Amino acid sequence: METGGYSPKDLHFAEEARDKLIKGISKMSEAVKSTLGPMGNTVLIESASHTHGITVTKDGVTVAKSIQLLDPVENLAVQMMREAASRTAANAGDGTTTAIVLTESLVNHGLEELDYAENKTQVLRDLVTITNEVVDHLKKRSRTVSKRKLLDVATISANNDKDVGQIIADTYSSVGKNGIVTVEKSQGSDTTFETTNGLKIDRGYSSPLFINNQKKDECIMEDVYILVSDAEINNILVIENILKPIINEGKKLLIVAPCSQQVINTLAANVMKNSLKLCAIIPPSFGYKQHELMQDIALSVGATYFSEKTGDDLSIMTFSDLGRAKKIIIGRDSSIIIKDDEHVEQSLIKERVDQLWDAHKITTQKQDKEFILSRIASLTGGVGVIYVGGNTDLEQKELFDRVDDAVCAVRSALEEGILPGAGLALYQEGLLLLGSKNSQKKIAKAILGKALKEPLLQIQRNAGIENQRVYNEKNIGLDVKNNKEGDLIDMGIIDPMKVTKQALQNAVSVAVTILSTNAIVTMARTYESK
């Protein structure tokens, strides 16, 4: 509804605003938190269009994304919690439900405790400070993932499905720690995996208009030609020799080169018209590192590297100068190129890797050593693809979501290590805060301490366990599936450190925003019954 060019707004203040936010939080949390843990329940979701049936899931972020409430203020709370869940999923691949459970608990305990605070703003600042201290402490507790624990992480992340966990663990074992694992839907009913050579580039698409897979926000193409250059393409005519056969013969092209905005717009416009199958990414890194990485990329795909530094002229590039890839997966922040071995000189790659190992031996700077190792991993690392099957579309979709989450969780565990699972690590951090003798930041410690206990308690509630036991011994907790106490890490009940960290930080960020809110402006709505 608009009046004279103005959009009328509704204003909500103080307690009324917060009460509605809390209602929205409670509704969202109630739907999501029942999925937490190995004994969590499934949620049925109706398609928004009423034409695509239902979704059956235990994935917290899927449930969160499906929720929209009629009341605008309640729905704002839902949107904010969804942001916490989505951000956690994007950065760590798992932990979405934990983030929502923590957010609800932080808000509820925050409202209780802030009544006793003289300076609410300072308490909220303290809350952020203490959260960072908790994260630092968790980092010290985290353990490196062993080969044996890899299977445990994969199994737990796949909702305790041992068969799926084994496939994920086998895939990662095949590609190595620095390898890349992706998930795709299978044409059959079985879930399998295969590995191949590939590399990852820490740059995504130059324009979202290149996306051809809307669900995953990615550009995915098979049998792709690749142009590699650090010279800026500031005029579309410079690469005319390349584009003409790409268009005329219906081929696909990936440009790894800096492009002017005008060129990007022109390319994107032709992609949108379906006259061009193309994606462009900017070169990774800067300076000498960029030059080295671009050489690696060109070598990996069998392309001629056209460099501004050596005075190469892009206009003389021909089709024979392009590299090839079996498949590319270009996301917002990173790109995966699955190599086509037929077009790559393996002897040249081996020669380059040997040179890099020699350089690694004589390099003394830690940063330079790490850079060289990452280059070696890129040149030698593999790409694993897990093909998810199912007897029905519904079964396949549910399994695909689980496998996708589990793969991300394993990646997170390999990056930053593992902690005891079942909410124990956060629970024990909560006990430390609540038992602190230091009176400084007392209210903030009380808010966070109580909230940190909630994921463990919710996991137990979902298993039908009302346990009054205090778990204050290191790593000693309850396996709710078997109702057995012991060292959770030894028992294979594990959480990735990165997942736990992201869930906590994102929950605190959203909770602080809600607790500091005193006024809400929403679009005015009118509801007519027909």
Q: What pLDDT shows up at residue 259?
A: 94
Are 324 and 184 in contact by the 8 Å Cβ rule? The answer is no
At position 413, the amino acid (one-letter code) is A
DSSP string, 6-44: B--EEEEEHHHHHHHHHHHHHHHHHHHHTT-STTPPPEE
Return the DSSP state at 440.
Answer: T
First to last CA, the chain: 18
Q: Greatest CA span in the chain, whole angstroms?
A: 79
Residue 122 sits at φ, ψ, to 5 deg, of -65, -40
pTM of whole model > 0.85? no
Q: What pLDDT shows up at residue 530?
A: 43
Q: What pLDDT shows up at residue 6?
A: 58
Return the DSSP state at 283.
Answer: P
Question: In angstroms, rounded to a whole number, what is the distance separating the alpha carbons of residues 172 and 444?
Answer: 41
3-class DSSP assignment, residue 429 = helix
Ordered by where they begin, the domains of the chain are: 9-142+421-523 (1.10.560.10), 197-344 (3.50.7.10)
Q: Which of 192, 186, 194, 158 is nearest to 385 (CA)?
A: 194
Are 202 and 336 in contact by the 8 Å Cβ rule? The answer is no
Are 153 and 408 in contact by the 8 Å Cβ rule? The answer is no
Pairing of strands 494-496, 418-420: antiparallel
At position 499, the amino acid (one-letter code) is V
3-class DSSP assignment, residue 296 = helix
Q: What pLDDT shows up at residue 520?
A: 67
Q: Which two tokens stand for residue 265?
A: 């717009």
Cβ-Cβ contacts under 8 Å for 136 (sequence gap 6 or more) = none
Q: Average pLDDT by consecutive 10-residue portion of the chain (530 residues)?
A: 57 70 82 82 72 70 78 80 76 78 90 83 92 94 82 80 88 74 84 79 91 88 94 92 90 95 94 90 87 90 89 88 92 87 80 87 78 76 82 84 83 86 91 85 92 92 83 87 87 87 90 78 59
Q: Which of 434, 422, 435, 420 is nearest to 109 (CA)?
A: 434
Q: Which two tokens stand for residue 86?
A: 């989505």
* Helical (H) or strand (E) element with 503: helix 497-515
Core vs surface per residue 126-153: b (16+ CB within 10 A) or e: bbeebbeebbeebeebbeebeeebbbbb
Question: In angstroms, rounded to a whole number, what is the distance separating the alpha carbons of residues 89 and 95?
Answer: 7
Q: What is the sign of the dihedral through the CA atoms of 28, 31, 32 and 36?
A: positive
Q: What pLDDT shows up at residue 52?
A: 57
Question: In angstroms, rounded to a whole number, what is the distance separating the alpha carbons of residues 347 and 379?
Answer: 12
Q: How far is CA 181 from CA 67, 327, 385, in A?
A: 30, 14, 6
Pairing of strands 484-487, 335-339: unpaired
Question: In angstroms, rounded to a whole number, what is the distance separating the alpha carbons of residues 170 and 383?
Answer: 13
Q: Which of 432, 419, 501 is nearest to 470 (CA)?
A: 432
Return the DSSP state at 342.
Answer: G
375-381-387 Cα angle (round to 5): 145
Are 271 and 277 in contact by the 8 Å Cβ rule? The answer is yes
Question: In angstroms, rounded to a whole number, what is the distance separating the alpha carbons of residues 453 and 451?
Answer: 5
Q: What pLDDT shows up at residue 234?
A: 92
Are 84 and 100 in contact by the 8 Å Cβ rule? The answer is yes
* Helical (H) or strand (E) element with 55: strand 54-57
3-state secondary structure 90-157: HHHCCCHHHHHHHHHHHHHHHHHHHCCCCCHHHHHHHHHHHHHHHHHHHHHHCECCCHHHHHHHHHHH
